[in-house]
Structure 1
Amino acid sequence: MTLIERLNGLNLYLVGMMGAGKSSTGAALADRLGYQFFDTDAVIEAAAGQSVAEIFAQQGEGAFRQLESKVLEELAAYRRLVIATGGGIVIQPHNWSYLHHGIVVWLDVPTAVLQARLVGDLGRPLLQGEDWDSKLTQLVADRQPLYAQADVRVEVAATETVAAIADRVLTLVAERIRSEADSAVLN
């Protein structure tokens, strides 16, 4: 039985910090699985007619998080999707009820790699200001225990290609499904 058959339409939800590569990896995974790909931030921007940074600036983080939860709720109603979530989606406990409609994959990238990827990125509202790298380090520390609730953890190296990351995600997802199936047989 192939991985696609074993997934039986289950969605894959990619979680992790901003700059982890969720969007590029998600698009590659969707292509390989024959799934549709959605990036929650892009869906929010299209629905709101504003960038994430503009929503944060004009309405605040709370309003953004409400939009984010609504988009996740709507996407979770469908099957055969790969969904790249915003880095903070895990901080709202009720979002886990939607995430658990599928398999949650944590792209775990070292903080130093995230810093190198995000330096000068003005589109990240939580990282604006002179001490952005300290803010990033604190966000990583705060969110790691939440990301650790994912079904699958993929440690990403600085030099790893999107294709290699996608390969490892699929391998680890297959192993997770196989171990859950084995556990079900034993019980």
Structure 2
Amino acid sequence: MTNDLLQGVNLYLIGMMGAGKTTVGHLLAQHLSYGFVDTDTVIEKVAGDKPITKIFADDGEAVFRKLESKVLSQVCAFTKLVIATGGGIVVRRENWSYLHHGLIVWLDVPAEVLYRRLAEDTTRPLLQDADPQGKLRSLLEQRQPLYAQADLQITVSEEETPEQIAARVLEEIPCVLKPEHSPAEPS
């Protein structure tokens, strides 16, 4: 039934780093028989197999954000994809025009849970800060109003497994999609 409602429309997973977008995205893609794309992985390939930490270090966040927008613009041309986006994809206004080509799902995870998940992760350039927990909280506060523009918000608890989260997303899709309306069409 969910596949019938989606009619090939992409699912875009947004949310903070550490929210589980990639893990949950793989599960959703498998369930829906969709392809899976992680925009961060594509960005690294486009940048000549350069890790995101190196892009930030060598070129800065602005260059990374431009690459991110370019990749998103290319990915949105396809259908039947679950797309895990970077946590900051929502900060550039132009990205919303691409995201609105599909159904936008916000994996909303409390800051404390995010910090526990990311405490040992050295691959997150924006957390290379004297106060990584404060930086994470600040980023979340800045981005929450943007994330809240998603079509579907899934508030995640620490106890939930990725499988349970994916199941909740699939259960909620029919609540936001009606057979006569798909996200790619104007309301």
TM-score of the superposed pair, with normalisation by structure 1: 0.94
Structure 2 residue aligned with 1:135: 135
Uncovered stretches (5+) of structure 1, i.e. residues with no partner: 182-186
Q: How does 1:86-125 map to 2 (within 5 A)?
A: 86-125=86-125
Q: Partners of 1:69 and 1:103 in 2: how far apart?
A: 18
Between the aligned residues of both structures, percent identity stands at 53
Q: Structure 1 5/179 Cα, relative in aligned 2: closer, same or farther at 3 Å? A: closer
State the secondary structure of the residue aligned to 2:154: strand
TM-superposed deviation, 1:129: 2.4
State the secondary structure of the residue aligned to 2:8: coil
Deviations 1:92-148 (A, max 9, x none): 001000000000000000010001001021100000022111000000000000000
Uncovered stretches (5+) of structure 2, i.e. residues with no partner: 182-186
Q: Structure 1 109/128 Cα, relative in aligned 2: closer, same or farther at 3 Å? A: same
Structure 2 residue aligned with 1:37: 36
Q: Partners of 2:75 and 2:66 in 1: how far apart?
A: 14
Q: Structure 1 53/66 Cα, relative in aligned 2: closer, same or farther at 3 Å? A: same
Structure 2 residue aligned with 1:175: 175
State the secondary structure of the residue aligned to 2:29: helix
Q: Partners of 1:10 and 1:130 in 2: how far apart?
A: 41
Q: Partners of 2:90 and 2:61 in 1: how far apart?
A: 14
Tell whether the 8 Å contact from 2:29 to 2:35 is kept in structure 1 after alignment: yes
Could you say what the CA RMSD is over the residues aligned between the two structures, in angstroms? Answer: 1.3
How many residue pairs get matched? 181
Tell whether the 8 Å contact from 2:5 to 2:179 is kept in structure 1 after alignment: no
Deviations 1:63-87 (A, max 9, x none): 0000000000000000000000000
Deviations 1:145-174 (A, max 9, x none): 000000000000101011100000011111
Structure 1 residue aligned with 2:68: 68
Deviations 1:13-48 (A, max 9, x none): 000000000000000000000000000001111221
TM-score of the superposed pair, with normalisation by structure 2: 0.94
Deviation larger for 7-16 or 120-129:
120-129
Q: Partners of 2:64 and 2:167 in 1: how far apart?
A: 32
